[in-house]
Amino acid sequence: MKKLLTLFIALCLTAVMTVPTFAATTYQVSLNTIDGIVGGNSSYAKDAVDKLASQQTEFNRATNKISQNTILINSYQSQKLANLAQIAKLKEAEDPDQDAISALQDANDDLDSKIKACQAEISSSNSQRNELAFQMNQTAMSNNISLIQQGETAKEQYIKYLDSLNAKDQLLLNIQKQQKKVSIAKLKYKRGIISKSALQTEKDALEDLNGQINDSDDQIQSDYSALISALGVADDSTLTVSKLSGEDKSAFIAASNYNYDADLQSVLANSIELRKSQLQVAHDQSLYYSATDEDSRTAAADTYAQSQKEYNALVVKTTKAFASQYKSLQRSVASIQKYDRKTARAKSAMTKAKKKYNYGLISRNEYLTSVDAYNTAISDGNKAITSLFPEILKYQMTVKGY
């Protein structure tokens, strides 16, 4: 039981959670590293360790009391044996010293009282220690949930930050497109094909896009700061943020093949909330069986029945919540398919436009427009998949028991 703190640390996301230093440093941030950062190097990890360490201290105090009282009992027992031996020796004398014998017997009676007091102290410390062991298990699970949830929050913020970067890239692409439009408009204006107001319209559109750069940069900085906060690392830390990998994006493909029945069984088996409830049931059951009188047994029986009822209700609630989560995710996955169809149509149109351009049937500008449409379709599809990631991650966490 003294190693429960270490057990909790092993429960956390990292294989080994060292005591956090919380110094400013550089972190490599990706979906694969976020859990480790939150679980091993953040203020959230420190808070979790501190909470459990406090209970561990109380547990150790109770253990020390048991050890101290055990030593005292052994000492008292030795004194009693010595007194009994002395009494026996005195009784063997021709003229036994009754006063001495009486004094030794009184001393043994006093030692018996001390032994009983120590035994009562041991019993009390054992009860306290058992209760603390239960509380420490509950705290470890609660802290583990908190760290997992904080990791989930950080992942969502990571996705938001990537979205802000992608939005900046898209803005720059739009600016490049508009710059081309302005160049073409200038040529058309010089040739008298369009009016000055039409040229000004294109210039104004370019100016509007350029005006969005500062806002985009501000959003990126805001999301970057929010990511530092979500990770729980020092405010002056530096983040090196990686974009989603191919492996990360494959999670979307896997999501369409999730098996509800198998995943539900994993949820019910892994759910920390259910495991906490099971511990509560087992704890209340042990109190019922250890009750020493009818009144306490009746009270313990009611508490035990209530905890069983709450556990069964939690199973039903967990099942319903997971069913809703599964259906929502599958609807979202299905909705993404429209982007696949849009991308396929844009690719087909681009292929046809290229052939027409090669045969001189359309202008280069018309062909490039089809290329832009295809790239935009791909970008929109990637944005849709990225936006679905938090939902996929939550589902995966639920299946794992968090």
- With a cut of 80, say whether residue 45 has pLDDT above it: no
Return the higher-pLDDT residue of 3 and 51: 51
Q: Is the pLDDT of residue 16 over 80?
A: no
Look at residue 39 and tell me whether its pLDDT is greater than 70. yes
Q: For residue 165, give Cα distances in angstroms to 58, 104, 231, 240.
A: 49, 88, 19, 13
Per-residue confidence band for 265, with pLDDT thresholds at 50, 70 and 90: very high
The mean pLDDT value of the chain amounts to: 85
**How far are the Cα atoms of 347, 367, 368 from residue 372, in angstroms, in the given order?**
10, 9, 6
Please tell me the least confidently modeled range out of 77-91, 233-247, 307-321.
233-247
**171-202: b (≥16 Cβ within 10 Å) or e:** beebbebbeebbeebeeebeeeebeeeebeeb
Say if residues 203 and 189 touch (Cβ distance below 8 Å).
Answer: no
> pLDDT tens for residues 310-334?
999 999 999 999 999 999 998 888 8
359 HSE (CA, 13 A, CB side): 6
pTM of the model: 0.61
Going from N- to C-terminal start, the domains of the chain cover 248-402
pLDDT at 340 over 60: yes
Q: Which residue has the tokens 């998949």?
A: 385
Q: What percent of the chain has pLDDT over 70?
A: 93
pLDDT at 41 over 80: no
Q: Which residue has the tokens 């990511």?
A: 227
CATH class, range 248-402: mainly alpha
| 24 confidence band (pLDDT: 50, 70, 90) | low
Pairwise CA distance, residues 97 & 91, whole Å: 8
